[in-house]
């Protein structure tokens, strides 16, 4: 992964963290699912234990055990309701433009805004899985 992508992903994770910490669904980890743990991109030679809390492989007692850049699909996701915050969305778009140079299949904020309103992210992910995870990357 390019350094500019890594940096952008880390910044997005910092930006979205507080949004999810005040999740309207009442659980900042509600969008985690073993299906998404299977999309991680851990470089070869690096090992992380899988705590498997609640049956979600990389979920530990205090959230995901992976750094943001090793789980780019998770780190860059935010549900559409938060995109009404204009300042947040401007910065999110700026960073996602960089990420999407390497991962053009990831949705932009206009798509997220339209398809994922409020705290219904797991449904959204399920419906859009094929869009987000081309067969070649599964
Ligand atoms: S539903 Fe939205 S706010 Fe809640 S954890 Fe998922 S992306 Fe974050
Ligand atoms: S954030 Fe971590 S625990 Fe949650 S789905 Fe992604 S890889 Fe799994």
**Distance, CA of 22 to CA of 83 (rounded, Å):** 14
Element (H, E) at 63: strand 63-64
pLDDT in the model for residue 92 = 97
Q: Is the CB of 78 under 6 A from ligand 1?
A: yes
CA distances from 53 to 56, 58, 88, 89 (A): 6, 8, 31, 31
pLDDT in the model for residue 121 = 52
**Distance, CA of 4 to CA of 45 (rounded, Å):** 22
Q: Is the CB of 9 under 6 A from ligand 1?
A: no
Q: For ligand 2, pick from 37, 63, 70, 124 the residue to mutate: most ligand atoms within 8 Å of CB.
A: 37
pTM for this predicted structure: 0.85
Q: What is the pLDDT along the chain (138 residues), one digit of tens a residue?
A: 999 999 999 999 999 999 888 887 778 888 888 988 999 999 999 999 999 999 999 999 989 999 999 999 999 988 888 888 999 999 999 999 999 999 998 989 988 887 665 544 555 454 444 444 433 333
Element (H, E) at 60: strand 59-60
Q: Is the CB of 37 under 6 A from ligand 1?
A: no
Cβ 121 vs Cβ 77: under 8 Å: yes
Residue located nearest, by CA, to atom 1 of ligand 1: 119
């Amino acid at each position: 992964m390019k350094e500019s992508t890594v940096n952008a992903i880390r910044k997005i994770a910092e930006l979205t963290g507080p949004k999810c910490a005040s999740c309207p669904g009442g659980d900042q980890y509600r969008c985690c699912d073993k299906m998404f743990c299977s999309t991680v991109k851990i470089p070869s030679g690096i090992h992380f234990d899988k705590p498997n809390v609640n049956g979600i492989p990389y979920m530990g007692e205090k959230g995901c055990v992976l750094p943001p850049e090793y789980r780019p699909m998770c780190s860059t996701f935010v549900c559409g309701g938060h995109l009404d915050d204009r300042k947040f969305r401007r910065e999110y778009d700026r960073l996602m433009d960089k990420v999407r140079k390497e991962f053009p299949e990831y949705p932009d904020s206009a798509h997220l805004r339209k398809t994922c309103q409020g705290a219904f992210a797991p449904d959204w992910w399920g419906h859009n899985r094929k869009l987000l995870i081309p067969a070649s990357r599964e």
